[in-house]
Structure 1
């Protein structure tokens, strides 16, 4: 078991570092040190921050070694310096940041070789190594967002998602009411906000078979959705008026056609692809316009994990096996979501598709702790974000690595955020009418 855990940890750490290298080697030093948006850090900050977190947790905590670069801890403390202020800090230059991160990793691999994976919650089942691999992959996704915001010619490329000719699908499925197990107490690398497992009772509801598509969202725009106050939460209405928002981020209307910019390429908006780069307010407004609502976080997880035939909560919609390329669009294999209805082998027992990968899905729920929550190993990972200011997103996106994505994984963000790889699907109460169109959105 120890050798197996060591192999899993090594694979997760290596995969993350390979991705970090790809995201930071495809542009020059000027792009690495520039701030491409006040919402994001310079790429070079993320690079050194990754190394610093790894030093603090794996070298100092797990390895019980002396600090390698303690003088830079405060520079790369995400709570001490907001993103907009980071370009003014005396950051490590790109070459120095690479050397530092590589030095830390070399020492970490030595620690990995001699760690017994027992003796406390930080090392049991290799938790700290899994936590750091997830942390790096989360920053890789953040850096990919920065690449999307970056102006200039394309720096990244990837093949198109595979085609899945599955025929017509029902718009929605009925999820039966009753109790299910939410969260986890057994997933070894689950983070604190996913714990503990607990029973939730959820009334019966219908949920979309696929995420809402660009074509369906265009219908909302063309019907005047951005100009009808009745569809919007008060803060959302203020937001779109103040910033003159009338479409998803990166969209523009030209010659009667909707275009978008995607990683430096301008292209026609694909109608059958899940809509991307919408805020919670936009998702909520669309759902109201469609006569529906966003699912709660508990509804989303029940649709994704609950097997009504056995009563078990699965790790993933398709079962307990780790994701493969046949199950979900993950790991930056592609630089876009797959068409709605793709990945039939990743469907839930009730036939809901693309719950994992493609787009993060906004839910109606505030980010709150589960009953019995205990912060571990530090409060700043999730506890300080609990409250009504942040909304929960579930499911992961094409930019998420499998190590940081599972049926219990919880993401959160401010409801105004649009630069993230966010989409949504809608739901309705079981006794509520389906809506005027009845077709798939």
Structure 2
């Protein structure tokens, strides 16, 4: 049993419009609560400052969230006149690179908040009055509302990255994630038998265009790490001269190491022979049993070569996460089809760090791998490319313009990702030199 093809924006079964409306409302409200937390926790000076040329000022993200909601829900779905047409260009992500955004005449914090709130109030009226069954693909099954909730949560993740990059004392707090009670008993790797499986989806109503359509991939057998690579394992790579041996590095990676004099993951430093890291304004000892974080694709690839292994392909990663040999079908998530819950995965910024490797046994996949959803984004060896039969929807700039060898695929989400954005089919991508993102990895080898 596999996903059967259905049009984008449609659901696999009869649509329960009111349930979809409630789901969309909850997703929009949850996203806005998080946006408020991330922007209300710092003063106006910090909102308007650029904490890194890699990131926008937080106030840009805040108004951009409102502008995209206006464009797609008020103008696109409801056909209403523009509230602030003069600001569209300021908040067009393709018109202005992040490094240049502080020089733009951006809305000041109070005005940005008021604009986003006004748009939200009107958008909820649109949600209440829009038929979600049938109709245009943009609104079918609540797609446009789900897309906007996902968009806001994606910017919340980028704002959390900005919080990590900012200097100064901690302003965010969260409890520690659960321990891994049986980590010592886990095998180092698990076998994923060869054969076909269904990759991607044609039935997930809020899946984005690059996750579609469902298609069959035949993947030879392979072994994959049971958990993401830990900080302790990565320290062994460092201590064995990992950053000084050119043979482990792809040319782009070695150039990055030499140019930036890299010796460890981003935010790590050594003091009196001990590795420390800075995490959201706190300096702490690097936890050996936690998945390594803030490493680039180049670093992940070098570690894998050093370990005599390799990064999994994107298809291998998804098969390990979704394929159920007993039924022959692909699950929505490693644990099954039910939505994420706190006992299954580390998502939604409930914690401000990954859980120890081996945590969340109930969230394991049929092959026995753990933490494939949440904790850290996992680099794969694959370029970001379209699936067979790909069709851009509802705009080319979400996925299509990024296809090609310049970007590598990451899968699985992180502790900073909300469940509405995280599925077993969800695809993320970034440049292979990026380190500020909440990225880790696991390794694989041929069976």
Identify the TM-score tier after normalising by the shorter chain: over 0.9
Q: What does 1:132-211 correspond to in 2, within 5 Å?
A: 132-166=148-182, 167-211=184-228
> Is the CA contact (8 Å cut-off) linking 2:137 and 2:143 kept in structure 1?
yes
Q: What does 1:184-333 correspond to in 2, within 5 Å?
A: 184-333=201-350
> Is the CA contact (8 Å cut-off) linking 2:223 and 2:444 kept in structure 1?
yes
Per-residue CA deviation, residues 237-286 of structure 1 (Å, 9 max, x unaligned), is: 01110000110000001101000000000000000000000000000000
Per-residue CA deviation, residues 374-432 of structure 1 (Å, 9 max, x unaligned), is: 000000001000000000000000000000000000000000000000000000000xx
**SS of the residue aligned with 1:225?**
coil
How far, CA to CA, are the matches of 1:158 and 1:285 in structure 2? 33
> Is the CA contact (8 Å cut-off) linking 2:180 and 2:357 kept in structure 1?
no
Structure 1 residue aligned with 2:4: none
Structure 1 residue aligned with 2:431: 414
> Alignment partner for residue 91 of structure 1, among 106, 117, 128?
106
1:11 matches 2:26: yes
Give unpaired runs (5+ residues) of structure 2: 1-15
1:44 matches 2:59: yes
Structure 2 residue aligned with 1:111: 126
How far, CA to CA, are the matches of 1:268 and 1:195 in structure 2? 42
> Is the CA contact (8 Å cut-off) linking 2:230 and 2:357 kept in structure 1?
yes
Structure 2 residue aligned with 1:436: none
Structure 2 residue aligned with 1:128: 144
How far, CA to CA, are the matches of 1:164 and 1:285 in structure 2? 27
1:70 matches 2:85: yes
Structure 2 residue aligned with 1:29: 44
How far, CA to CA, are the matches of 1:244 and 1:38 in structure 2? 19
1:81 matches 2:96: yes
Structure 1 residue aligned with 2:375: 358
How far, CA to CA, are the matches of 2:85 and 2:141 in structure 1? 28
> Is the CA contact (8 Å cut-off) linking 2:349 and 2:418 kept in structure 1?
yes
Runs (4 or more) in structure 1 with deviation over 2 Å come to: none
**SS of the residue aligned with 2:359?**
coil
How far, CA to CA, are the matches of 1:162 and 1:193 in structure 2? 33
- Cα offset, 1:164, TM superposition: 3.2
How far, CA to CA, are the matches of 1:73 and 1:380 in structure 2? 16
**SS of the residue aligned with 2:185?**
coil
Give unpaired runs (5+ residues) of structure 1: 431-441
Aligned alpha-carbon RMSD (Å): 0.5
- Cα offset, 1:35, TM superposition: 0.1
> Is the CA contact (8 Å cut-off) linking 2:77 and 2:138 kept in structure 1?
yes
- Cα offset, 1:64, TM superposition: 1.1
How far, CA to CA, are the matches of 1:56 and 1:70 in structure 2? 10
How far, CA to CA, are the matches of 1:132 and 1:356 in structure 2? 22
How far, CA to CA, are the matches of 1:3 and 1:235 in structure 2? 51
> Is the CA contact (8 Å cut-off) linking 2:384 and 2:404 kept in structure 1?
yes
**SS of the residue aligned with 1:304?**
helix
Q: What does 1:425-440 correspond to in 2, within 5 Å?
A: 425-430=442-447
Structure 2 residue aligned with 1:402: 419
- Cα offset, 1:163, TM superposition: 2.1
How far, CA to CA, are the matches of 1:87 and 1:377 in structure 2? 29
How many residue pairs end up in the alignment? 430
How far, CA to CA, are the matches of 2:193 and 2:217 in structure 1? 13
